[in-house]
Structure formats: C-alpha cells, structure tokens
Copies of this chain bind each other. A is one copy, B any other.
Amino acid sequence: MLVNKLGEFGLIERIKKTIKTDESVVKGIGDDCAVIKLDKYNYGLFTCDMLVESVDFKPQDEPYLIGRKAVAVSMSDIAACGGLPRYCLVSLGIPKDTSVDKIDKIFYGIRSLSRIFKTNIVGGDISSSPVLTIDVSMLGIVEKKRLVLRNGAARGDMIFVTGRLGDSISGRHLKFIPRIKEARFLVENFKVNAMIDISDGFAQDLGHILKESNVGAIIYEDLLPKYRKSTSLESMLYGGEDYELLFTLPIGEAKKLLSSKLSIFTPVGHITHNRFDLRLIDRKCRVKKIPFRGFRHF
C-alpha cells in the first residue's frame, strides 16, 4: 500500500500505535505539541514542522516570508497548548545553486518573529537537498495548571475562534502572527477546556478536538467570521493554514469572555453529545452533517 492511500492521519495513527513512552512524557504523539515533565511548576512543550518548497510555499515566494512562516507554524503549536516559545533549531535543506542572499533573507524572517516572541535560535543543521526544505523544532514552556490539550472539550462548552477564517492560502499563510499573546490571555484568565490551532482547516481541526474529547459539535454558518466579504463557506470550513486558535470554554467562562467584548474572539457554536458528530446550521436554519475534511499531505 502507498502512503497516498493510507493518508496522512492514517499514517500517524499507524506510527503512534508502535510507540511507547516513559512516565516523564505527559503527552506524546497526537496533540499540537508533545508535553514533557520539566520541574515542579512547568511542563516543556516540544514540536516541529517541516516546510517543503512547492508544498508549503511557492518557489517564487519572498524568502523573508518563507523563513517567517517556518517559525510561525511551530509557535502556533506552542500557542495552541497555552505556552510560550523559548528555544528553536532550524534544519535547512538547500539546493546547491541557492544564493547566499536568499538564505540571509530566510534567516531575517526567522529572526524577526523570534525576536518578537523572545525565542532563542540555538542551532540547527544544514544539508544539501534538491528542494528547499526547512524544519523548525521548538521547545516551549507552560505552567502545569495552564496546559491546554485537545482532549478536554465537554458537553455544553462554547466553541470560539480567534481572528477570521478562509482565503489564507492566497497569501495570509505566509504572514500570520502566531496567536501566542491571545493564547496566554486565555490561559491566564480563563479555564480553557480544549484548544488547537487551525492548520489543516476548521472542520478537520475541530474534528481532532471532538475525537480526542469524545464529543460532538454544532456550529452556525452565520457566526463563522469570514476573512473577506467574498470568502466562501467552503474556504472557511476546509481551507488550510488559517493558524487561528480554535478553543472551547465552559459556559460560565464563555460568558466572562463575551462580556470582555474583545472582537478577536468569536463564538461559533457549542459542544454536544458525541452522537451529533459535527453539524452545521446554515443560513436557512437547515442542519447539515459536516465531514472532518481539510488539507492533507496524502
């Protein structure tokens, strides 16, 4: 069988089954970050993301933005667990005819975001490769009591997203600001039950929360925050790379957040019994079952 047929998540499930970890690992494969014991008050968050030319960015994209995105996607994973990024390594696979100027610009992008979010670039690796490949691994930190995973969503929770959804792939995916500050505001002030970043599409990533938490959800088309007036429902539900936070709050906490009137957080639905799966209530008040579809590498 080819990986094409098994699919990305099938492959991850298959790998996950073969792997055991010791008691120092709080959460291994299957969340935005791995969570490891660090000290009395803190956990370590460990994550990596590989960007490949012509898959995650185009050859003609600005090198500055490619570098920026390479760290931003890992920071977004740290944010989704409620933590702060601290250290990163950059592995670069570089075609031999690449200009030094291009590498300078990629690192300019990497440094710019690292500086904003106080993340130390501490090392990496350089290899030759037929296509430009950047893998950033990141180590972050989160207070034990503030860690948020995908598996805590409970019936009755309200579902929120940050920012706006859809049309990211037309350019925004290279320029987004990882929601570190928003995530910290949430975990420092609210009891967040579950959180994920929307990297593979709203429906698919909400699907991860539902599956891990063994619950269902209802969302409302009217509530979904469109990026542009012309943004389609299709693009909001299934478009990849929004890098917004998707999270659930118990109703009391949700009310508190709503009363803060911060326009960055939009309620989009609520968590239900798991037999509901994922349903959308559309403009005409029709209920539709929504597939957990989105971007997949295979």
Contacts and interface: CB of A to CB of B under 8 A. Distances in A.
Interface in A60-96: 86-87, 89, 91-94, 96
In the complex, the count of this chain's copies comes to 2
A97 B50 contact: no
Contact of A128 (B28, B55, B97): B55
A145 interface: no
A123 B6 contact: no
A222 interface: no
Contacts of A93: 50, 52, 133
Given A18-B111, A19-B111, A24-B86, A122 B1 contact: no
A38 B38 CA distance: 8
B128 A131 contact: no
Interface of A: 1-6, 8, 11-12, 14-15, 18-19, 21-22, 24-25, 28-31, 33-34, 36, 38-39, 44, 46-52, 54-56, 86-87, 89, 91-94, 96-101, 103-104, 107-108, 111, 118, 120-131, 133, 135, 137, 139, 297-298
A55 B129 contact: yes
Contacts of A120: 21-22, 24-25, 28, 36
A127 B52 contact: yes
A15 B110 CA distance: 11
Contact of A2 (B29, B98, B129): B98
B15 A122 contact: no
A38 to B, nearest CB: 8
Nearest to A3: B98
Contacts of A39: 39
Contacts of A133: 50, 52, 93, 129, 133
Given A2-B96, A29-B121, A52-B128, 15 more contacts: A4-B97, A11-B103, A15-B107, A36-B87, A47-B123, A50-B133, A52-B93, A52-B130, A52-B133, A55-B129, A96-B298, A126-B297, A128-B298, A130-B131, A131-B131
Contacts of A100: 1-3, 5-6, 11, 14
Contacts of A4: 96-97
